[in-house]
Amino acid sequence: AHSPGYGYVTSCPTNLGTGMRASLHLQLPNLTADGTEAKAKAVCKPLGLSVRGAGGEHTPIGADGTVDISPSARLMIEEADIIVALYEGIKLLLAEEKKAPKRK
């Protein structure tokens, strides 16, 4: 269903709006060396991005540091802005990954 004011109405309220959830899996072994996604979240949150396990919501990060990155906003935002936020976040995450101490 589509609403002129709210966009696409989906079965999951978090996808209300564009109905688009663009995401990617990214290996961040250095940022996740402590076994958590806390450092990746610290980078992503100010950019409006979410970090979660590659298996979806409420799943742990992969043993190799694989995380799922996606924009948090879907309501009152254009699809192009979602992709730009994701792209900018990935660039920043990869830069932080390179600066982080190497995983042992």
Residues 6+ apart with CB under 8 A from 55: none
Q: Is 55 annotated as a binding residue?
A: yes
57 is an annotated ligand-binding site residue:
yes
Instruction: Establish whether 58 is an annotated binding residue.
Output: no
1 among annotated binding-site residues: no
Is 53 annotated as belonging to a binding site? yes
Tell whether 23 is in a known binding site. yes
Is 72 annotated to bind a ligand? Reply is no
The reply, when asked if residue 52 is annotated as ligand binding, is yes
Q: What angle do CA 67, 101, 83 make, to 5 degrees?
A: 35
Residue 68: beta bridge partners?
25, 52
- Is 103 within any annotated ligand binding site? no
Cβ atoms 24, 90 nearer than 8 A: yes
Q: Which residues are annotated as a binding site for ATP?
A: 21-25, 52-57
The binding site consists of: 21-25, 52-57
